[in-house]
Structure 1
Amino acid sequence: MRAAVVGLTLTGPALAQPAAAPIQADDARHLPVLASRGMVSSQEALATRVGVDILRRGGNAVDAAVAVGFALAVTLPQAGNLGGGGFMLVHRAARNETAAIDYRETAPAAATRDMFLGSDGEPDRAASTRGGKAVGVPGTVRGLAEAHRLYGSGRLTLADLIAPAEKLAREGIPVEAGLADSLPRAAGRLGNWPSSRKVFFNGDRPFGRDERLVQTDLADTLAAIAAGGPEAFYRGAIASRIAAAAQGAGGIMTEADLAAYEAVIRAPVRGTYRGHDIVSMPAPSSGGIHLIQILNVLEGFDLARMGAGSAGAVHLLAEAMKPAYADRATWLGDPARAQVPAGGLIAKSYADTLRAAIDPARARPAEAIKAGDPLAFEPDQTTHYSVIDAEGNAVANTTTLNFSYGLGLVAEGTGVLLNNEMDDFSAKTGAANAFGLIGGPANAIRPGARPLSSMTPAFVFRDGRLVLVTGSPGGSRIISTVIQIIVNVLDFRMNLAQAVAAPRIHHQWRPDRLMVEEGLSPDTLALLRAWGHPVVVGSSSGSANSVMRTEDGLAGAADPRQRGTLADGH
């Protein structure tokens, strides 16, 4: 067995059906996809179809999610992966139980606290993002295999679930949509490595639109895992090649690090919001804790009366986010190596103190906000997909390589792209990582530690019944994205497609700026600036591929911000 079980108490959360928003004739493009027996929503259409086919063949939501995970390693190489890690929530309807699978990458045994500091004592960003030392021990293969072993239907083998991915890798996939967009942008990172050029380049350029990407080495790796299980990845020839690739780039990961890797089964973090139960990932994800913390603060305000996209609602969202990100910098890390006061951070009474500090008509500058004292209250690139089956079993899975295509380095002979997740540790207290997130001692580099993450796979229940499965990529903006999906559904009564498509905002305390997607009215932006918000209208945020139970059946919505996404069911 390769999954450690940490503090897991399987108890039934609660599920609810919010009233559907009325749909007007001109809202057709915002109608969710409906199905009756199962639904998959992911960032890549071929992978979604793989998952739906598994459901048709009698697999449950976990079987489908595992198959989607392996398929994304082929069809969405910028984020789907065998060489990265992630977090998965699994809900088993018959037993009304939810478990969290932590398959986050770990620091190699030779890692040291100051390994990314330069001679001047300051963080060396190139060392933590571009070289072999940036590679953490990957967890994806172990995590997906454990999900299948522990929670699969028993009707399909792991080899059955890997077979579609192997076929796609061996026969090739068309370069289109998101893949065609991402390859030119990553040409510099991929082009640094001869082994990566062999896979992703056609001569002196990356494969282009309407060409075909064949990944034979990756197909062979998938075939080996299908035949030998996860041990074929973590020991033997594949592990040797992965370790050699990291070391050849100046890294410290060894075959022994790979052989020692374990996924961890954890108790989810739980909260409530407007009569619904919120269930998400615990530490070392900061996502679930701060999702609940921010929702606790918002629960004291009548957002529905203010209206979606109003200056008042946006202001309160931003002001609730700021102290949570300040707390993240101080309190969050690997719970095996740091005290994480999760109970205090998600306490309603702690939220009362944070809410009391919010001025309803004035923004607080970052320097006016410090981490709180939750101890007193104790009791670019990532992808997310959501799955639900006819029996109500569900999976919310978020997986990552950190940067798009991770380090950009393919381990020779394996087809496996290596991550650069070590940048998610705090290189130095108070220093920001590549996403601008401030780190503290709780997230310091330690051998075997799991770096802090913002990944926030989430379930929403009402009266014991699953309502919503959601999550998103987006680095530091993952938490704020998931919050807004939930608020859009529960407060603003949007249907799922509207909730996913609505413009998003984000504030992470530092840097002190309110990031806003295009789509909010000029009047709203003017009011926010007048209230003191340093508004920056910028790029789109996240890809919140979600599924939901409605009166009309299962609903799915794929995020329109990314090309090639698909929600589909049967």
Structure 2
Amino acid sequence: MNQRNTVLLFSLFSLLLLPIGNSLHAQTYGKNGMVVSDHYLSSEVGISILKKGGNAIDAAVATALSLAVTHPEAGNIGGGGFIVLMKSDGDVTTFDFREKAPLAASPSMFLDENGKIRDNSNHRGLLSVGVPGTVAGLYQAHQKYGKLPWKDLVQPAIDQAKNGFPMSWGLYTVALRMSALDPSFDIMQNFFRGADGEVVAPDELWKQPALAKTLEAIRDQGRDGFYKGAVAAEIENYMKANGGIITQQDLAKYEAVERSPVKTTFKDYGIFSMPPPSSGGIALIEMMNLMEAADISKVEFNSTAYVHLVAEAMRRAYADRAEHLGDPDFNPDMPIELLTSKEFAQERFANLDLTKASPSDSSKFGQLYGGDHTTHFSVVDKEGNAVSLTYTLENSYGAGMGSDKLGFIFNNEMGDFNPIPGITTNTGQIGSSPNLVAPEKRMLSSMTPTIVAKDGKPYLVIGSPGGRTIINTVFQTVLNVLAYDMRIDRAIEAMKIHHQWLPDMIIYERNLLSPDTRKALEEMGHTLRPTTNLGVLMGITYDAKLGIFVGAADSASDDGAARGY
């Protein structure tokens, strides 16, 4: 055997000997803690914090800031999101750090003289940027529940940005595309380029010195390092120079909010999720309650009856979402208790026809029937604290704009407000009042960070990106684990569908739904459309028999990984 073949065989044999936890997407095990995120290096940062004695909040802060470096598509300090925290004593709380509309915003700010949306301005350009909330939310959660010093949690991200990390092939492919965008996406022209002016090649170190400097201000000054001082001044200067309306006053006034979770039960489990301004928790609970009323466990998974029932539950929950939900600080009378009640689910099930599709009528909203790059990560620690955190820039790379002096990308979350007051259409545009633009209002979100408890302890920690599809991918994964007893990796990878009331169609993952089932659903009155993938889920379950955490990252994430110890 020649030397080359000997080396090749030795390399293959070595790969076979690697522990399963070293694979990016394999189900991974940990006795003392687990972090599952969209980048393996960020998961490793979170685990390093747990090993130093930090708790789940500490690890979540460090992981989130690391993702701002390693996963700029959605990891961010220029956006916002939500935390669901289950403490070791079983108590659950949440942190709302959703972006806000600037003080100069108004309900008609995106409309031209004819009442039409002007140049896609609610999604593109600096008018689409909401006041960022990520730094404020992470800081507030740490100040109340963290253990390690704040500086220790920010430093790993600074090191990654300053010293660089290896460019992956997945990120490189995106970097080539983003670097070739038109000049209006100003920061993207040079974002992925090295000192030689070329896009950093795979396996070469990608360094982000401007972002490192911004993170150093956050490390040294806490939230004020972002919302006041030099960073805030540069944000205002950049906005003024490029047609934006966010000011230093907007930044200084921004505050994250700790809120009580929404919750329900399913079988022997307690389900806890995010309240408004996220719509995810309420819709998830409404659908889980309806599945309980339908006794879903007796319906065969992936059958025609299953897909029909799940789609009809989605249709109703999204109609209620559109009619009722928005920022609770502006809509104090939202019927949250009604929408999350078992009785309401019984009413919903009583008028659900198991033999045919219901019509989606834009004039009736949720009356009884006769947007999308985000990232999620899950964390548990050895004391039994658990964090489910979802945060976003809205579109992939948000607004595609930002100051080269600061090194981060702004969100385009203003597009999540209803853009034209009073106009709801069958194509999916919503115009209901709870989610119209107003100064300092938080836009409605679909993010659905969720924790399921069993016997008062975390049993499932789950969440996903995906715009409006988030709610449904999380819902089906929870259903897979609780109703169909799937292990976490299979629950994540199993077939998913999406229906959001309007437009009236079932979106399904191509090649995962049989042709016979599609035909049967069409005969029941459903319209179907294929897509490549729904969701990028990051989940953890607890195996009580072995006393271990089991983590899995969605294979749809190029660099995502579970890390445990």
Q: Given the two structures, how large is their TM-score scaled by the length of structure 2?
A: 0.91
Matched, 1:138 2:125: no
Matched, 1:385 2:377: yes
**Any residues of structure 2 matched to 1:167-566 within 5 Å, and which?**
167-187=159-179, 189=181, 191-201=183-193, 206-338=199-331, 339-367=333-361, 370-372=364-366, 380-429=372-421, 436=428, 438-518=430-510, 519-550=512-543, 551-552=545-546, 553-566=548-561
Q: Distance in 2 between matches of 1:29 and 1:206?
A: 25
Residues 181-235 of structure 1: per-residue CA shift (max 9 Å, x gap) = 4334434557534444232246787544344321101001111111111101100
Q: Distance in 1 between matches of 2:173 and 2:473?
A: 23
Structure 1 residue matching 2:361: 3-state secondary structure:
helix
Alpha-carbon offset, residue 285 of structure 1:
0.4
Gaps of 5+ in 2: 1-22
Q: Distance in 1 between matches of 2:345 and 2:83?
A: 27
**In the alignment, which residue of structure 1 is the partner of 2:16?**
none
Structure 2 residue matching 1:86: 3-state secondary structure:
strand
Deviates more, 1:517-526 or 1:158-167: 517-526
Change (3 A) 1:369 1:418: same
Contact 1:43 1:566 in 2 (8 A): yes
Amino acid at match of 2:303: S
Contact 1:133 1:246 in 2 (8 A): no
Structure 2 residue matching 1:128: 3-state secondary structure:
coil
Deviates more, 1:131-140 or 1:520-529: 520-529
2:80 pairs with 77, 85, 91, which one?
A: 85
Change (3 A) 1:111 1:369: closer
Contact 1:326 1:369 in 2 (8 A): no
Contact 2:49 2:59 in 1 (8 A): yes
Contact 1:384 1:472 in 2 (8 A): yes
**In the alignment, which residue of structure 1 is the partner of 2:153?**
161
Q: Based on CA coordinates, which of the two structures has the bigger radius of gyration?
A: 2
Residues 464-516 of structure 1: per-residue CA shift (max 9 Å, x gap) = 12210001100000000110111100111110110011111000011111000
Structure 2 residue matching 1:300: 3-state secondary structure:
helix
Q: Distance in 1 between matches of 2:553 and 2:514?
A: 24
Contact 1:173 1:213 in 2 (8 A): yes
Alpha-carbon offset, residue 29 of structure 1:
11
Q: Distance in 2 between matches of 1:90 and 1:286?
A: 18
1:58 pairs with 53, 61, 65, which one?
A: 53
2:28 pairs with 30, 33, 40, which one?
A: 33
Q: Distance in 1 between matches of 2:76 and 2:177?
A: 18
**In the alignment, which residue of structure 2 is the partner of 1:568?**
563
Change (3 A) 1:506 1:437: farther
Structure 2 residue matching 1:510: 3-state secondary structure:
coil
Q: Given the two structures, how large is their TM-score scaled by the length of structure 1?
A: 0.90
Q: Distance in 2 between matches of 1:251 and 1:514?
A: 37
Structure 2 residue matching 1:299: 3-state secondary structure:
helix
Contact 2:97 2:255 in 1 (8 A): yes
Gaps of 5+ in 1: 1-27, 375-379
Structure 2 residue matching 1:452: 3-state secondary structure:
coil
Change (3 A) 1:29 1:416: closer
Q: Distance in 1 between matches of 2:364 and 2:268?
A: 30
Structure 1 residue matching 2:240: 3-state secondary structure:
helix
Amino acid at match of 1:32: Q
Q: Distance in 2 between matches of 1:198 and 1:67?
A: 26
Residues 521-559 of structure 1: per-residue CA shift (max 9 Å, x gap) = 222222212212111111201111011111331000101
Structure 2 residue matching 1:366: 3-state secondary structure:
coil
Change (3 A) 1:113 1:414: same
Structure 2 residue matching 1:359: 3-state secondary structure:
coil
Amino acid at match of 1:415: G
Change (3 A) 1:189 1:116: farther
Q: Distance in 1 between matches of 2:163 and 2:308?
A: 50
Q: Distance in 1 between matches of 2:176 and 2:555?
A: 21
Residues 391-446 of structure 1: per-residue CA shift (max 9 Å, x gap) = 1101000000001111111223111211111111111135579x946241100111
Q: Distance in 2 between matches of 1:103 and 1:368?
A: 31
Give the RMSD, CA atoms, in angstroms. Answer: 2.1
Q: Distance in 2 between matches of 1:422 and 1:412?
A: 22
Residues 343-390 of structure 1: per-residue CA shift (max 9 Å, x gap) = 11111111112111211121122228833469xxxxx21000000011
Runs of 4+ deviating beyond 6 Å: 28-31
Deviates more, 1:55-64 or 1:298-307: 298-307
Contact 2:266 2:292 in 1 (8 A): yes
Contact 1:169 1:214 in 2 (8 A): yes
> How many residues align structurally?
534
**In the alignment, which residue of structure 1 is the partner of 2:101?**
107
1:149 pairs with 143, 146, 149, which one?
A: 143
Contact 1:270 1:278 in 2 (8 A): yes
Contact 1:437 1:476 in 2 (8 A): no
